[in-house]
Chains A and B, each alone.
Chain A
Amino acid sequence: MIGEGTQSTNQRRHNYVQENVEVGFFTDPTVCIGCKACEVACKEWNQVPDDGFTWSGNSYDNTGHLGASTWRHVMFVEEDRQKGNQIVGSHSLGSGNGEDPFRWVFLSDVCKHCEEAGCLEACPTGAIVRTEVGSVLVQNDVCNGCGYCVVSCPFGVIDRRPEPLADAGGAFKCTFCYDRQKSGLVPACAKVCPTESIVFGRLDDLRARAAEHVQQLQQNGYRDAQLYDPQETSVRGIHAFFLILGEPEAYGLPPKPQIPTIYLKSAWTSAIATAIASIIATLVAFAFFS
């Protein structure tokens, strides 16, 4: 919870890597203030280059989306809906009765570190591995830049870095600050989050805490609060899960993310069926003409 200081799981040292503890991020937009400290801390620690000085005009979001050079991305969602019981003026001209809902929600997006990771399954070189803490890590010295992982990620997270940026060609994404974690440190984004909207910790703890939190929020008027943690689909759960207000689509999150390999069975079945059918057809043709 906010204000635990050095006792917070976002601040205290840990041995999760040594003890093979599954860890996660729980990100909560109801306390996010959109400061983007997570984006900056991530780039600073991981020496990720800037990727353009382009103004978007899309609220305060000039980052746009996750990618090879953006491993944390704070979304700024402006909607004509109410947030909890929030009172937003009541001054719309003419009506003036408060029935003029508006809300501004900030959510810090990141690699989901899927239980079944599309990128990892697609990687032909073994560059993408699963770590002791359950996160998915790209080993950039092994990656050959084939890009199979890019199309295999159901969330559009991983990407190849374009020229002329440093290390162009290779695929990059959030490392879950594996290097920091090995030394008992908390990932940079969680460490700097001033309101603990990003919480780092044991995945089981976080899930329990999140479930309780979402119930509380619903009691406090956030009727559309829900957890985004798809465990029923082929990704079978994610290590970086979110609380969201409203529907996942508003945050660019797929409601039912699937990894491409689940289509293998049907793809192979139809391929084999086609093969068999064409062999039969050929045989039949030969039989017919002969």
Chain B
Amino acid sequence: MPGLGTSFGRGGATTAQQDVANADCILIEGSSMAEAHPVGFRWVMKAKERGATIIHVDPRFSRTSALADIWVPIRAGTDIVFLGALIRHLIENDLFFREYVVYYTNASCILSDEYRDPEDNGDGYFSGWNEEKHAYEGESWLYKGGDLSRPERDLTLQDPQCVFQKLKRHFSRYTPEMAEKVCGIPPELFHKVADALVAASGPEHTAAVCYAVGWTQHSKGVQIIRAAAILQLLLGNIGRPGGGILALRGHASIQGSTDIPTLYDILPGYLTMPHKGDETLQQYLDNYTKKTGLWAHYPEYIVSTLKAYYGTHATAENDFGYGWLPKLTGNHSFFEFLYDMLDGKMEGMFLMGQNPAVGAPNSRLQRKALSKLKWLVVRDMVEIESANFWRESPEIDRGELKPENIETEVFFFPAAGHAEKEGAFTNTQRLLQWREKAIDPPGDCRSDAWFVHQLALRLIAKAKASADPIDEPLRALDWWYPEDSLGDTNMEAVLAEINGWHTLEEKENVERPTSNAQHPTEDGVVFGVDRNGEPHHGPQVNAFAELKADGSTACGCWIYSGVFGRDGVNKANLRKSRDYLGHGWGFAWPSDRRIIYNRASARPDGSPWSERKKLIWWDSEKWTGIDVPGFVKGKAPDYEPEVGAEGLDAIPGDAPFILHEDGLGWIYVPKGLRDGPFPTHYEPLESPVSNDLYSHATDPAVNWFTRNENRFAPPGDARFPFVLTTYRLTEHHTAGGMSRFLSHLAELQPEMFAEISPELASELKINKGDYICIVTLRGAIEARALVSRRIRPLRINGKRVHQAALPYHYGTAGLVCGGTANDLLTISGEPNVTIMEAKALTCNIVPGRLPHGQAFAEFLNKYAPQAGQISLHPEEPSVSTGTSGGGHASEGKE
């Protein structure tokens, strides 16, 4: 989550869902919160009951819009123009929260003379573009002098080189009229939103922003979130009750899966995965440790992580096993290895809790890639499309693939359901909630943890029997976890390791536990005995502040420290709320703080901004209040660091964003993003129009993943005149594995449909309920026409533009089946996180049914000719052959 991470310091929602009830205005954009987060939406309704204004900005009038006070229809993929126009409105009319902006953000910081903005020549590029590498070199984006920890500042915000003046200039052309031209939002509607937000800003008021994948799944998704971060900083809404940005996560533990990542490029707690060149621990630490701010403690966090991985094998002499970590040589994201699968460079894959045959973009290509594997392990509760693609997929029906020719050996492992296993979810608000097992899973069904644990035991045994140096990391793993009668790991023991403990090396005189029967011991040891009955570790740590870089502590994920401390209480399992923020219910990282950066809830002098919005404050000796203070407890508001101070000592008493070297909220991101320090409007990779703001239409740093089967329509392609967006229904769960197979959910939305406007329906002579085909260059699917005024055409730059919206849950397996919307999408890579553009593309709509069998190819070719040039978009790097255009082959492109 680099959008939030670079703006504020931490890649997570800044607030708790309950706190949304305290907002005076809520802007929901890039999310249909009522549909995808219905339980959390109760707090939006609570705010509305208390008089808050609810605004929903979305191409589709959804169930969220139905409950909003203002629905603002928008052309999919133009959010930065709308948010940019709000930013400009605040600046031009002097409506921003000046005291907050001056003291708490980097608006006053002076930039380097080298910095060039896209406004300077209107081409859409920042300074530092390297055409050859197809990437930015960000040196010119740094503050003047290059030191992020001690920026030169002008608190009057008048210096022409200060961030504020650059921001003003950057968004000067993002006028309400531009928003009308690009987004299709009339100025009077724009002003309704602007007025509501301005009314909810200042010492007495706050506004919250809620978003979900409707912002992230764009070719510039991170920058859309950045625009919201700038808006919230200008309004003074971060770190305050009823404010913040709520990143709504789409699964039960998606936040958890970035905190303890399933991503290739980070380690637990947002530590950087080592890259080629970071050969020794010292080199790595030199590259990623910051001199000032919380990240000055980087060595403590990484060494403790390595100690958790490798136990006693990690010693100061061997760099704590740092050398065993793999080093990144390029982009190893899902899309890169998908292309490797297609090209026969990858033999096998484990799929756990994922159904790419339905849920991943360009799913025709996904299914084709699966058919090229030698083996595939699928763990799921039901036989999903990714497990049965070799016999039931549309490609089999069309004769494109033949079961007898597919050599993939599919191993299907039945998975336990959520009530059949224990563990913690980390939900959308960074809250760890423990779930106990209600019942043993039936038959051979087992939890994911069981599978990984059992697989690890077998792999480690194999490695121990081998002398190959490549197996050394496996031999060194500290796989100590106690297990239950089913062979499942004791998940509380895993949580204890995640929390962190003192290692036994630390104190020789510590009482060594002899069994796991009673814990915690007097010393605070929790599950202190390993699989061989030997003492394994010492007392728990109570907080990440206790972690050391000398090997005396181990910690599985430093940000989760405190969840299972020396008192032996699993705080994720607490169930008694003490206050409206939910303290006493579960555990929110970091340190059970529910609203992060909460130093900003008080004035620079430490007193609350207002009685109505007080959260934490300085009581003349320490920070105190309703939430856990996100600040050094005894650091006075007037504290000024000495020259040369390091770590948190270098952060002044009035700088709330302590993960940043300068302690400030970053309106301008001097370092950490690959596509620019300010958000800039680029058109979606497929768009019905060209870019009205810059000569370059699309984000220059985007990865196109050009390939014959993954072609993009050029801007304004008459063959694909309609905007297409995808979304999620309340009644189904993502790729459908957990809903299409359950009768009580399947009957509620039993067939694939497409939402279109009455105007488009009449143009195309489509009646409600008719079968229609939706066609893109990647494929074609069939759907029923749901004609409703909830979708309406927009006027974009004088041209009538129709939008169509598709739910993406359907496939070929289960009780209810239907066309897979993801068949239509492109694979593309946002520059920072390599996410695809699922929410804005172009399509054609053809009335009638989709031909079955071999007639499909003829149909597709008629509406989307499959032969010819591969790169059709003028800004797409040209590729001569049909093979991978991704970055996997070009090592070290980052």
Seen from chain A, the residues whose Cβ lies within 8 Å of a Cβ on chain B are 1-3, 5, 31, 33-37, 39-40, 43-44, 49-55, 57, 59-60, 62-63, 78, 80, 83, 85-93, 96, 98, 102-106, 194-196
With a CB–CB cut-off of 8 A, which chain B residues contact A104?
61, 63, 65-66, 790
Question: In the complex, are the beta carbons of A57 and B66 less than 8 A apart?
Answer: no
Q: Tell me the total A-B contact number using a CB cutoff of 8 A.
A: 147
Min Cβ gap A100→B in Å is: 9
Q: Does B189 lie at the interface of the complex (its beta carbon under 8 Å from any beta carbon of A)?
A: yes
A272 to B744, CA, bound (A): 52
Known: A35-B35, A78-B790, A89-B73. A60 touches B749 (CB 8 A): yes
B795 partner, pick from A36, A53, A80, A91, beta carbons under 8 A = A91
Known: A88-B61, A104-B61. A55 touches B38 (CB 8 A): no
Question: In the complex, are the beta carbons of B750 and A36 less than 8 A apart?
Answer: no
With a CB–CB cut-off of 8 A, which chain A residues contact B133?
none
A93 partner, pick from B18, B45, B189, B793, beta carbons under 8 A = B793
A103 partner, pick from B63, B66, B784, beta carbons under 8 A = B66
With a CB–CB cut-off of 8 A, which chain A residues contact B785?
57
Q: Which of B175-228 contact A (CB under 8 A)?
A: 184-186, 188-189, 192
Question: In the complex, are the beta carbons of B69 and A86 less than 8 A apart?
Answer: yes
With a CB–CB cut-off of 8 A, which chain A residues contact B45?
2, 31, 33, 195
With a CB–CB cut-off of 8 A, which chain A residues contact B751?
53, 55
B784 partner, pick from A43, A55, A78, A102, beta carbons under 8 A = A55
Question: In the complex, are the beta carbons of A35 and B789 less than 8 A apart?
Answer: no
Min Cβ gap B740→A in Å is: 10
Q: Does B327 lie at the interface of the complex (its beta carbon under 8 Å from any beta carbon of A)?
A: no
With a CB–CB cut-off of 8 A, which chain A residues contact B577?
5
Mark interface residues in B872-893 (1 if CB within 8 Å of A CB, else 0): 0000000000000000000000
SS class of chain B's interface: helix, strand, loop or mixed? Answer: mixed
Min Cβ gap A218→B in Å is: 16
A194 to B41, CA, bound (A): 8
Question: In the complex, are the beta carbons of B730 and A36 less than 8 A apart?
Answer: yes
Min Cβ gap A272→B in Å is: 50
Q: Does B397 lie at the interface of the complex (its beta carbon under 8 Å from any beta carbon of A)?
A: no
With a CB–CB cut-off of 8 A, which chain B residues contact A89?
61, 71-73, 189, 792
A85 to B71, CA, bound (A): 12
Mark interface residues in B797-834 (1 if CB within 8 Å of A CB, else 0): 00010000000000000011000000000000000000
Interface size on B, residues (CB 8 A): 60
Q: Return the 6 tightest CB-CB contacts between A and B, nearest first.
A: A50-B743, A55-B751, A57-B769, A53-B750, A104-B66, A33-B34
Instruction: Given contacts A60-B749, A89-B73, list 12 more A-B pairs with CB under 8 A.
Output: A5-B577, A31-B45, A33-B64, A34-B66, A35-B34, A35-B38, A53-B750, A55-B751, A87-B70, A98-B188, A104-B66, A106-B63
A86 to B768, CA, bound (A): 27
A96 partner, pick from B61, B71, B186, beta carbons under 8 A = B186
Question: In the complex, are the beta carbons of B730 and A35 less than 8 A apart?
Answer: yes
Q: Does B97 lie at the interface of the complex (its beta carbon under 8 Å from any beta carbon of A)?
A: no
Nearest opposing residue in chain B for A83, CB measure: B66
Question: In the complex, are the beta carbons of A40 and B744 less than 8 A apart?
Answer: yes
| Sampled A-B contacts (16; CB under 8 Å) | A34-B730, A35-B38, A37-B38, A39-B748, A44-B744, A50-B743, A52-B750, A57-B753, A60-B63, A90-B189, A91-B794, A93-B793, A93-B800, A96-B186, A104-B61, A194-B41
With a CB–CB cut-off of 8 A, which chain A residues contact B185?
91
Mark interface residues in B29-47 (1 if CB within 8 Å of A CB, else 0): 0000011001101110110
With a CB–CB cut-off of 8 A, which chain A residues contact B65?
88, 104
With a CB–CB cut-off of 8 A, which chain B residues contact A57?
753, 768-769, 784-786
Q: Does B460 lie at the interface of the complex (its beta carbon under 8 Å from any beta carbon of A)?
A: no
A80 partner, pick from B34, B192, B789, beta carbons under 8 A = B789
With a CB–CB cut-off of 8 A, which chain A residues contact B81?
none
Q: Does B746 lie at the interface of the complex (its beta carbon under 8 Å from any beta carbon of A)?
A: yes
With a CB–CB cut-off of 8 A, which chain B residues contact A105?
66
Known: A3-B46, A87-B71. A43 touches B744 (CB 8 A): yes
With a CB–CB cut-off of 8 A, which chain B residues contact A86?
68-71
Q: Does B745 lie at the interface of the complex (its beta carbon under 8 Å from any beta carbon of A)?
A: yes
Question: In the complex, are the beta carbons of A194 and B748 less than 8 A apart?
Answer: no
A43 to B789, CA, bound (A): 31
Min Cβ gap B751→A in Å is: 4
Question: In the complex, are the beta carbons of B795 and A90 less than 8 A apart?
Answer: no
Q: Does B731 lie at the interface of the complex (its beta carbon under 8 Å from any beta carbon of A)?
A: yes
With a CB–CB cut-off of 8 A, which chain A residues contact B744?
39-40, 43-44, 50
With a CB–CB cut-off of 8 A, which chain B residues contact A88?
61, 65, 71
Mark interface residues in B770-795 (1 if CB within 8 Å of A CB, else 0): 00000000000000111011101111
A200 to B759, CA, bound (A): 43
Most buried by A among B61, B64, B184: B61
Q: Which of B235-274 contact A (CB under 8 A)?
A: none
Min Cβ gap A7→B in Å is: 11
Question: In the complex, are the beta carbons of A87 and B745 less than 8 A apart?
Answer: no
Nearest opposing residue in chain A for B759, CB measure: A93
With a CB–CB cut-off of 8 A, which chain B residues contact A3?
18, 21, 42-43, 46
